[in-house]
Amino acid sequence: MSRGHHHTCLVLVVTAMASAIACAPAPALVDANDGGVQADAGEPADTTGDHDGDDGDDGDDGDDGQPDALGGSDAPGPVDAVAPDDATALADAATAIESHCDDLDDDGDGLIDEGCWPGPNLWPEQSWQDLGTVALTEGAMPAPTRKFTIEADGDAVLATAFDLSEATRFVWADQLVTPDGSIWLDPLDWASSSHRSAPGAGGAGVLVGMNPGATVHQGIWTVGFTRSALTPSWSVGAAAGQLRLGVLSRPPLGAAPGRLPIHLYVVAGQPLPAAELIATPQWQAIVAAVEDAWQDAGLSLELVGASDVLGDDGKRYLYVDNVLVPGPLNELPGLFGVSATMHPDSKALSLYIVASIDHAGQPVASGLTGQLGGITGMPGAVANGVAVAMPIDLWTKTLALPKSEEVAAGVWGMLIAHELGHFLGLWHTDEKDGVIHDLVDDTLPCELGAGSMRTPQACKQQAGNLMFWNPQGTAVTAGQTTVVRRHPGLRPKN
């Protein structure tokens, strides 16, 4: 395949890593920076009586189908998506289906077009709250919000948004408010908030409880997402467009171990057809290494399927290109979209093996996670995918080494474990430029002067953590294990 094609994009987190085994051939595992994100390989009555939705409650109390924050006279602010304050009424509203999919709140519940798009394929223990769509006004800030219910203390909850507009802008969660009014994500202080949504073109998510020191309580929560030409900044306000919002949940795991269902896709059957690849001792060593890295979290991988991506798609996406910019040339959404055709009923995470992850025809990353805090059960969505580069020549050379299983585990085991950490809600402990640290209190920041790059050599102790931007080890902290176990994609292990 020529390394230059099309499609829209979401690039969030890519890992760069070097081989942990000295004798391993050094792959071109390069870190990149995407727009400031470090990459790695509901209704009271109309009190004024004029039906224009301007009574200050931000609900759709007029006859125009528009909440105040979108089309009325109120200044933008938190949207009272549903007037009743009891969780049962809110849950009923969130699961109702509009009589028409017309960009209006036809049933008067404060949600627009809920039920007009399919939700994720769910495991029995999971649930989905469809929050419908939100229209963003050019330059408005902060974004309109929607309310959702957490049924029980400790539930695993992921709020997510999908861009229904052209995916050439960044999307991120800009508000998250607890039932008691505590602001966990402040639209005016994104970087310092206790929760932080990574921006991406095409959609974004925020894992409730991605700060391990936060306690997830039952009740009615508030969330808002926005989109902009810039990464988190209110210097220009929102870019006009439409987002679809939803919340995926499951009960807490308690003391039970967790399993992460994965469907493996091997593009063009390279370096080996899927059935052959998963039977090799090298692949089995890779899986064992991933599980070893996350053993303190009680996490194991559950391979629910292995498929080859053949034909035109196999040729097109063997070298997935232009991954660093949003827009039609980016091939990542096209690659991740393959699973919607091949296995539309999948409930798993989609893991893609490609030969190279490129930009402008040059390798730039060894791994890509479609969304920090990704979503299971939505095959074809960027938020459902993880891509890992397994260069054909490197695989071949690895097989020829005396300790090929150890080498494979050291290279791809660490890489996949790192990317799954992102999918399950973890940031890098430190970014390369040191601008932000993660949200986990027990990960040690690399304290260097302003402008100093956080290299593995300068941050030797920190680089031993699996989620360092360029990890040299697989250490994880108690706080990190708490976060990943809060992801609703993990299933209790029988």
Q: What pLDDT digit, counting tens, does each position of 197-212 carry?
A: 988 878 899 999 999 9
Whether 5 is covered by a domain: the verdict is: no
- Please name the helix (run of DSSP H) or strand (run of DSSP E) that holds residue 307, with its range, or none: strand 299-309
**Do 74 and 95 sit in the same domain of this protein?**
no
Q: Give the pLDDT confidence score for residue 204 in this predicted structure.
A: 93
Q: Which of these ranges, 27-31, 311-315, 362-366, 444-448, has the smallest mean pLDDT?
A: 27-31
Where residue 231 falls among pLDDT bands split at 50, 70, 90? low
| Distances in whole angstroms, Cα of residue 90 to Cα of each of 83, 109, 307 | 9, 9, 41
- pLDDT tens, 167-199? 678 889 999 999 999 999 998 888 889 999 988
pLDDT of residue 189: 85
DSSP type of residue 478: H
Is the pLDDT confidence value at 3 over 90? no
Query: pLDDT per residue over 56-66, tens digit each?
Result: 333 333 333 33
Residue 116 is part of a domain; what is its CATH number?
A: 2.60.120
- Asked whether residue 434 falls in the same domain as residue 341, the answer is yes
**Averaged confidence pLDDT in the chain:** 82
Query: Which of 166-175, 299-308, 403-412 is predicted least confidently?
Result: 166-175
Nearest to 369 by CA among 432, 301, 422: 422
- pLDDT higher at 115 or 122: 122
Domain boundary pick from 58, 79, 100: 79
Residues 66 and 90 reside in one and the same domain:
no
pLDDT tens-digit map of 357-392: 999 999 999 999 999 999 999 999 999 999 999 999
Residues 270 and 362 grouped into a single domain: yes
* pLDDT-derived band at 235, boundaries 50, 70, 90: low
Does residue 98 belong to any structural domain of this protein?
yes
Residue whose pair of structure tokens reads 């299933």 in the numeric block: 491
| 142 and 236 housed in the same domain | yes
404/319 same-domain check: yes
Q: On the CB side of 204, how many CA atoms lie within 13 Å of its CA?
A: 25
Assess if residue 2 is contained within a domain: no
**CATH (domain of 376):** 3.40.390.10
Could you read off the pLDDT of 433-484 as tens digits, one per residue? Answer: 888 889 999 999 998 877 788 999 999 999 999 999 999 999 999 999 999 9
Compute the average pLDDT of residues 280-284: 98
pLDDT of residue 451: 75
CA distance 274 to 267: 9
Residues 343 and 439 in one domain: yes
Residues 17 and 103 in one domain: no
Question: Is 4 domain-assigned?
Answer: no
In a domain, 8, yes or no: no
Task: Decide if 380 is inside a domain.
Answer: yes
Q: Are residues 62 and 103 in the same domain?
A: no
Least confident interval from 71-75, 233-237, 255-259, 381-385: 71-75
- What's the pLDDT score for residue 233? 58
pLDDT tens per residue across span 318-356: 999 999 887 788 999 999 999 999 999 999 999 999 999
* Residue at a domain's end among 234, 250, 266: 250
Number of C-beta neighbours around residue 118 at 10 A: 10
User: pLDDT at position 41, please?
Assistant: 36
Q: 103 and 25 in one domain?
A: no
Domain boundary among 60, 79, 98: 79
- Is residue 187 domain-resident? yes
pLDDT over threshold 60, residue 158: yes
**Domain region containing 65:** 44-79
pTM given for the model: 0.81
Same structural domain, 381 and 270: yes
Q: How many domains does the chain have?
A: 3
Same-domain check for residues 75 and 114 = no
In a domain, residue 475? The reply is yes
Q: Which of 13, 39, 26, 14 is nearest to 411 (CA)?
A: 26
